[in-house]
Structures are given as C-alpha cells and as structure tokens.
Amino acid sequence: MSVSRYPIPAWTHRVQETIQRSRFITTLAHAPSAADAREFVKRVRDEFPDATHTCWAFAAGPPGSTSHVGLSDDGEPHNTAGKPMLNTLLHGGVGEIVAVCTRYYGGVKLGTGGLSRAYSSGVKLALEGLLTEPKIDRVPVEVLIGYESVTDLQRILTEMEAVVEDEEYGERVRFRCAVPTVAVESLCDAVADATSGSGSVTKL
C-alpha cells in the first residue's frame, strides 16, 4: 500500500458490546493529527460524563505508522486498554484514526487478560463496520501551457486525479493544481509530450 494513498474513516462509527455485565461503547473517527484525536476524545468524554473509564488510542498517520500515536488506560490496569486498542488500530489497515472506548463497569472484574481482549475486541468490531474513503497526499504545482494544449491538459489532470484550484488565461494558460505526490513525475512527462516540450510544471 502506498503511503501517498490509503483508507481513512469516512465518518464516525460506533459499536457497543456487553461483556460480563460491563458495557463497552467503542467509537471510531477520523484523526488527521494528534490534536484532532485528543479533541475527539474530549467530545466523547463529555458525551458520557458518568462512564467508569474512557480509554483511547490513536494513530494519526498512514496505516501501521507509529510516528504519531497516543493512548490512555484511563485508570484501568497498566497496558490493558490503550495498548491493545492501539495494536488493533495499527493492524487494521486504516490510517488517521482514533478509537475511544467508553466503559460502564457492571460489577464483575474481568482480569487483565479479559480487559485486554474486551478493549481490542471493541476496536476490531468497530473496524469491521467502518466505512472508509481514500486519502491521497497531494502537492501543489503550477502548469504553464499554450491554449492549444488546454484540452489535453484537462484530460491528463483528470487521469491523474489532480484537483484544479485555479486557472488563469493570459498570453499562456496557467493551471494551479494539487497533484498526487506519486504522479508529479508522470505529470511532467505527460505535459512535455502534449506540448512538444513547450509546457512546464513547477512545484509550488
């Protein structure tokens, strides 16, 4: 899987399980940064202010990346909640994601092994029902061409999943676009071919 294109949560998703009378409510959401993840944790905590524990984990990067991660056991025994939740996220194939597990204690102790299984199970169950959408890393570029090449360029940009942000028509035509990182070199080659070398592509 390319790190420039990967699945991210399309929207918030929630599941609920009851395990030995304890209620576990697991909520997943998109978290493009650590700050976004922590803000989402706060919103869920505010939603369930009477919960016994609000445990969480996030991986705010490409799937499996540990460059921007965080976790909390929120009073559960050490490494019985946040760590198994994070491990499940890291192996879930989805990037930029936060998981919050809200627990209402039901009076039966689960033990450390039981807690770890319960928290990882909630995240796994939520991942199974999570709708995703592709995240494409793009870089800004400026393309300068003659009028005769506009139609060809529009076709090229569509094929490469570029997003046109601005067009300027003067002596020549200037397109400002956001192009998938992996497609920049191909774009340069395609523009050169379409314009017989008279067009240019510049990273901004």
Q: What is the 3-state secondary structure (H, E, C) of 2-52?
A: CCCEEEEECCCEEEEEEECCEEEEEEEEECCCHHHHHHHHHHHHHHCCCCC
C-alpha span between 195 and 45 (Å, rounded): 57
Q: Tell me the CB-side half-sphere exposure of residue 151, using CA atoms within 13 A.
A: 1
Residue 10 · residue 131 · CB < 8 Å:
yes
In one-letter notation, the amino acid at residue 149 is S
Q: Average pLDDT over the chain, rounded to whole?
A: 95
Confidence of residue 137 (pLDDT cuts 50, 70, 90): confident
Instruction: Give me the pLDDT at residue 108, please.
Output: 92
Instruction: Give me the pLDDT at residue 3, please.
Output: 53
Query: Domain map of the chain by residue range?
Result: 5-134, 137-203
Q: What is the mean pLDDT of residues 169-187?
A: 93
In one-letter notation, the amino acid at residue 156 is I
Residue 37: both structure tokens together? 């993840």
The CATH number of 5-134, from 3.40.1190.20, 3.30.230.30, 3.50.30.30, 3.30.565.10, is 3.30.230.30
Residue 187 · residue 152 · CB < 8 Å:
no
Confidence of residue 154 (pLDDT cuts 50, 70, 90): very high
Instruction: Give me the pLDDT at residue 138, please.
Output: 87
Q: How many CB atoms lie within 10 A of CB 155?
A: 12
- Residues 87-123 have pLDDT tens digits of 999 999 999 999 999 999 999 999 999 999 999 999 9
**pTM over 0.95, yes/no:** no
Q: What is the mean pLDDT of residues 3-23?
A: 92
Instruction: Give me the pLDDT at residue 1, please.
Output: 43
> If one looks up domain 137-203 in CATH, what number appears?
3.30.70.240
